[in-house]
Structure 1
């Protein structure tokens, strides 16, 4: 390989902008996007599986339709 080939590879722009990890705030890594590590990814998954994250719903759908 020539040094010219290595130069062009280092100038490749990342596909995504680095964003902070939603769990700890550190910069995200490509392998675990949008998280920074496998640990943070697993913490988030655990919260989904245990029901810590929930989408609020109305008890009575007819009341929800009237409010709109």
Structure 2
């Protein structure tokens, strides 16, 4: 799922010359360990400009990124 979302984000951001990286954080939870996936979006100078959690990815978010 993460790779699919990363590909979609890169496609949307291509005209803006933005790059996407996937970051994973592991945190303890009541059931054991919980892995949270983030998509970090960089500008053309490789400065991080957005950090999206996998659950926050939706068309309104993607449309907002495309317009910026």
Name the structure with the higher strand share.
2
Name the structure with the higher helix share.
1
TM-score (norm 1): 0.27
TM-score (norm 2): 0.27
Structure ranking higher on relative contact order (CA contacts 8 Å, 6+ apart) = 2
